[in-house]
Amino acid sequence: MSVEQTLADLVAIDSVSSRSNAEMIAYLKARCEARGLHTRTYSHIDENGIEKINLVAQTSVGDSQTEVCATELVLVGHTDTVPYDPNWNEALQLTERDGKLFGRGSCDTKAFIAAALTAVESTDLFQLKKPLALVFTADEEIGCLGARRLANARPFTAHYAIVGEPTSLQPMRAGKGYCLAEVTVRGREAHSAYPQIGASAIFRAARLIGRIENIAEQLQSDQHEDFDPPYTTINVGVIKGGSAKNVVPGECRFTLEWRTIPGQKSDFVLNLLREEVEHLRKTDPDFECEIDAARADDSFETAAGSELVQFLEQASEQSASTVAFGTEAPSMIALGAAAVVFGPGNIREAHRTGEFVPVPELEQCVEILHRAIERFCL
Ligand SMILES: [Zn+2]
């Protein structure tokens, strides 16, 4: 089957993250088993009662059921997509125009999955001397949850992992971490004519946010030159507080997001924030603040000299760079792999109506993955 036909099949299966990905996994499992790969599924019921499945398809599963297979190369693709506008007629029907294939997930990241399947199908797997695995995950678009569950299950260890994401076939060897905290600052409500009997949660939050801005400035002195910008960034993206113009506000909440450079722990900013809260308590003993660390995705970095980085640089004729968006690479690193993010399509086209993958990139990706399998597993 051609890579375009495979991509059309994948796009036709609606796999928005809010739905079960069971249909997609059944399709991929059948394709892998037809090539003689051993498949295992890892099922999970999410908080909405919906089944989400990770699939691992391997050329070798080790000698016993319990043995963890040391895999040489893993190709990873997430099966879920972001939602689509119901008025976008091509969302589930892959459509070619001007050498581009349009459809939801065509770029992010079904193109990589189609390329990986096609590359495996064009390889004589019985000739491989080292184990190869295809890994298809759930719930990437809502926080890389499937890959993290898989890393916790430790179904295999790996030497090298190519994590599919639209990078226009440029190898991405490092990525910033992604962390979130919900901060709730409390005060005491009162009539605004008598502020002295209350305590403004908004004034308190403002003092804390002023200190967060100072943290953001301090962070600029710790630089990782491979990123743009080359330091950990901070954003207060949402703030809500108060109930009326004449009420001293009793509560103010805000969302703090930070993206860490490799080498900095995901809780580094969180600890600086906690120190600032302690400072504020010294002058305002009633200062009440709750910090809910909602997310802490690690950064990742694979050495520029890694054989996988060098292979992909040479095969794609592009030098390696870094990504500022979250990926499943840290989960693969947790399984022992040197991981590189790589795939056809441009991240700037992803997540929007009219998402597409250019046909030449899709075809080149098949070729590069085929060569990667031969390079690392033969
Ligand atoms: Zn993606």
The model's pLDDT over 80-109, given as tens digits with 9 standing for 90+, comes to: 999 999 999 999 999 999 999 999 999 999
Q: How confident is the model at residue 67 (pLDDT cuts 50, 70, 90)?
A: low
- Residue pointed to by tokens 């108060």: 242
- Distance separating alpha carbons of residues 372 and 352, to the nearest angstrom: 30
Q: In angstroms, what is the span from residue 269 Cα to ligand 1's centroid?
A: 26
Does residue 66 have a pLDDT over 80?
no
Mean pLDDT, the chain, integer: 96
Q: How confident is the model at residue 60 (pLDDT cuts 50, 70, 90)?
A: confident
Q: In angstroms, what is the span from residue 325 Cα to ligand 1's centroid?
A: 10
Q: In angstroms, what is the span from residue 272 Cα to ligand 1's centroid?
A: 31
Q: Which of 177, 257, 252 is nearest to 215 (CA)?
A: 257
**Token pair recorded at residue 219:** 């962070």
The residues pairing with 225 across neighbouring beta strands, listed in sequence order, are none
Q: Give the predicted TM-score (pTM) of the model.
A: 0.89
**pLDDT digit string (tens) for 112-143?**
999 999 999 999 999 999 999 999 999 999 98
The number of CA neighbours under 13 Å toward the Cβ of 26 is 7
Q: In angstroms, what is the span from residue 238 Cα to ligand 1's centroid?
A: 25
Residues designated as active site:
80, 140
| DSSP 8-state class, residue 177 | -
Q: Which of 354, 345, 346 is nearest to 103 (CA)?
A: 354
Which secondary structure element, helix H or strand E, spans residue 16, and what is its range?
none
Does residue 44 have a pLDDT over 80?
yes
Q: How confident is the model at residue 64 (pLDDT cuts 50, 70, 90)?
A: low
- Distance separating alpha carbons of residues 55 and 271, to the nearest angstrom: 37
Task: Tell me what pLDDT residue 326 has.
Answer: 85
Q: In angstroms, what is the span from residue 45 Cα to ligand 1's centroid?
A: 21
Query: Long-range CB contacts (< 8 A, 24+ apart) of 278-287?
Result: 279/211, 280/204, 280/207, 280/208, 280/211, 284/204, 286/188, 286/199, 287/185, 287/204
Locate the DSSP E strands across the chain: 38-45, 51-58, 69-78, 95-97, 100-102, 132-137, 156-164, 172-175, 178-186, 190-191, 233-241, 247-248, 251-259, 288-297, 300-301, 321-323, 338-342, 356-358
Task: Tell me what pLDDT residue 184 has.
Answer: 98
- Distance separating alpha carbons of residues 53 and 41, to the nearest angstrom: 6
Instruction: Judge contact between 370 and 356, C-beta under 8 A.
Output: no
- Distance separating alpha carbons of residues 110 and 16, to the nearest angstrom: 12
Q: In angstroms, what is the span from residue 109 Cα to ligand 1's centroid?
A: 5
Q: In angstroms, what is the span from residue 166 Cα to ligand 1's centroid?
A: 7
Q: In angstroms, what is the span from residue 183 Cα to ligand 1's centroid?
A: 28
Which secondary structure element, helix H or strand E, spans residue 335, and what is its range?
none
Q: How confident is the model at residue 206 (pLDDT cuts 50, 70, 90)?
A: very high
Instruction: Judge contact between 42 and 53, C-beta under 8 A.
Output: yes
- Distance separating alpha carbons of residues 247 and 133, to the nearest angstrom: 60
- Distance separating alpha carbons of residues 296 and 83, to the nearest angstrom: 24
Q: Which of 330, 190, 183 is nearest to 252 (CA)?
A: 183
**pLDDT digit string (tens) for 263-320?**
998 899 999 999 999 999 999 999 999 999 998 888 999 999 999 999 999 999 999 9
- Distance separating alpha carbons of residues 314 and 368, to the nearest angstrom: 10
